[in-house]
């Protein structure tokens, strides 16, 4: 099979898509418009990015991207209750799984291989001996010492809450009053706080939970270098988030 046609988003009835073993560098942008898609398989390609729009697919039940070049996953992956099976095996630079994936069926063998030396220029977050890459679109990492949000983040969150009820698609802000890039961010935030669901646009407060220290460790041979990552919206949510509660 050749490149995935960009018109794939127009296939509203499509339920299963398998584009494995195709040397794909990216997935078609309009894939998130396939509202009936239940199973997406893209194993053994060269994907470095799971588009965050895929988190909005309402029917997606199984996502498989084993054997790619992923170093991070979208913050909201697994937020949908429908998504229950996520297979990410053999992505050696992938060290962080969104905490939403805890308690789902996941495959992560061959991820976070500690021998690999990565040259990727991505933001990283370390806790103890563990380091995870953050999604490329995250601009800043907050810690316990940063209780005050950056101005752009404050403005985006305020705009989101002020406008969402009158127009959920924020279309009335386009194209004059807001640059297109900010409008798109408003329509599809980086993710939502894993503690309180507040949308996040530029900064996240990550908290790591090593998989080998969770009750799930036995399922993964107990040796994995992968962590669950809770992406929080503030120092308060960072303090109070608990994976096991
Ligand atoms: Zn929060």
Q: Could you read off the pLDDT of 134-170 as tens digits, one per residue?
A: 998 999 999 999 999 999 999 999 999 988 888 777 7
Among residues 177, 184, 195, which one has the least CA distance to residue 245?
A: 195
What distance, in Å, lies between the first and last C-alpha atoms of the chain?
A: 45
Between residues 225 and 5, the one the model is more confident about = 225
Name 145's Cβ contacts closer than 8 Å, sequence gap at least 6: none
Provide the residues around ligand 1 (an ion) whose CB is within 5 A. 193, 195-196, 198, 233, 237
- In this prediction, residue 215 has a pLDDT band, given cuts at 50, 70 and 90, of confident
Find the 90 Cα to ligand 1 centroid distance in Å: 31
List beta partners, residue 206.
231
Find the 8 Cα to ligand 1 centroid distance in Å: 35
Q: Could you read off the pLDDT of 39-92 as tens digits, one per residue?
A: 999 999 999 999 999 999 999 999 999 999 999 999 999 999 999 999 999 999
Q: Among 175-179, 201-205, 238-242, which is the least confidently predicted range? A: 175-179
- In this predicted structure, the answer to whether residue 18 has a pLDDT above a threshold of 70 is yes
What CATH number has the domain spanning 6-134+204-234?
A: 3.80.10.10
Percent of the chain with pLDDT over 90: 67
**CB burial readout 168-191, b (16+ within 10 A) else e:** eebeebeeeebeeebbebbbbbbb
The reported pTM is 0.87
How far is it, in rounded angstroms, from Cα 63 to Cα 191? 18
Between residues 11 and 143, the one the model is more confident about = 143
Find the 173 Cα to ligand 1 centroid distance in Å: 26
- In this predicted structure, the answer to whether residue 108 has a pLDDT above a threshold of 50 is yes
Among residues 241, 244, 139, 143, which one has the least CA distance to residue 198?
A: 241
CB under 8 Å, gap of 24 or more: what pairs does 188-191 form? Answer: 188/52, 188/53, 188/56, 189/156, 189/160, 190/52, 190/75, 190/135, 190/137, 190/138, 191/52, 191/55, 191/74, 191/75, 191/76, 191/79, 191/98, 191/231
- In this predicted structure, the answer to whether residue 2 has a pLDDT above a threshold of 60 is no
Q: What angle do CA 167, 29, 60 make, to 5 degrees?
A: 80
How far is it, in rounded angstroms, from Cα 28 to Cα 14? 14
Name 16's Cβ contacts closer than 8 Å, sequence gap at least 6: 37, 38, 39, 41
- In this prediction, residue 6 has a pLDDT band, given cuts at 50, 70 and 90, of low
Find the 106 Cα to ligand 1 centroid distance in Å: 25
- In this prediction, residue 9 has a pLDDT band, given cuts at 50, 70 and 90, of low
Find the 206 Cα to ligand 1 centroid distance in Å: 11
**What pLDDT, on the 0 to 100 scale, is given for residue 17?**
96
Find the 176 Cα to ligand 1 centroid distance in Å: 31
**CB burial readout 64-91, b (16+ within 10 A) else e:** bbbbbbbbbbbbbbbbbeebbebbbbbb
Check whether the bond before 161 is cis (ω within 30° of 0): no
- Domain limits of the chain? 6-134+204-234, 141-200
Find the 149 Cα to ligand 1 centroid distance in Å: 12
Q: Could you read off the pLDDT of 117-136 as tens digits, one per residue?
A: 666 788 999 988 888 999 98
Find the 193 Cα to ligand 1 centroid distance in Å: 5
**What pLDDT, on the 0 to 100 scale, is given for residue 180?**
85
Name 162's Cβ contacts closer than 8 Å, sequence gap at least 6: none
Among residues 35, 40, 116, 34, which one has the least CA distance to residue 71?
A: 116
**What pLDDT, on the 0 to 100 scale, is given for residue 92?**
92
- In this prediction, residue 1 has a pLDDT band, given cuts at 50, 70 and 90, of very low
**Rg, C-alpha atoms of the chain:** 18
């Amino acid at each position: 099979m050749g490149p995935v046609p960009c018109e794939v988003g127009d296939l509203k009835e499509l339920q299963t898509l398998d584009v494995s073993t195709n040397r794909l560098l990216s997935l078609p942008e309009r894939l998130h418009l396939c509202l009936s898609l239940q199973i997406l398989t893209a194993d053994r390609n060269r994907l470095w990015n799971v588009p965050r729009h895929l988190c909005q697919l309402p029917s997606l039940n199984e996502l498989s991207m084993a054997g790619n070049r992923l170093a991070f996953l979208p913050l909201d992956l697994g937020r949908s209750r429908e998504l229950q099976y996520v297979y990410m095996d053999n992505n050696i630079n992938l060290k962080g799984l969104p905490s939403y994936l805890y308690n789902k069926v996941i495959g992560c063998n061959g991820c976070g291989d500690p021998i690999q030396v990565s040259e990727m220029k991505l933001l990283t977050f370390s806790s103890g001996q563990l380091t995870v890459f953050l999604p490329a679109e995250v601009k800043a990492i907050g810690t316990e010492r940063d209780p005050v949000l950056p101005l752009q983040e404050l403005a985006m969150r305020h705009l989101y809450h002020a406008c969402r009820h009158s127009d959920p698609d924020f279309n009335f802000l386009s194209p004059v009053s807001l640059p297109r890039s900010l409008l798109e961010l408003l329509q599809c935030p980086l993710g939502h706080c894993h503690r309180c669901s507040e949308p996040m646009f530029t900064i996240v407060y990550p908290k790591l939970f090593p998989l080998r220290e969770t009750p799930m460790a036995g399922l993964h041979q107990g040796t994995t270098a992968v962590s669950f990552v809770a992406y929080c919206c503030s120092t308060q949510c960072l303090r109070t988030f608990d994976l096991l509660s």
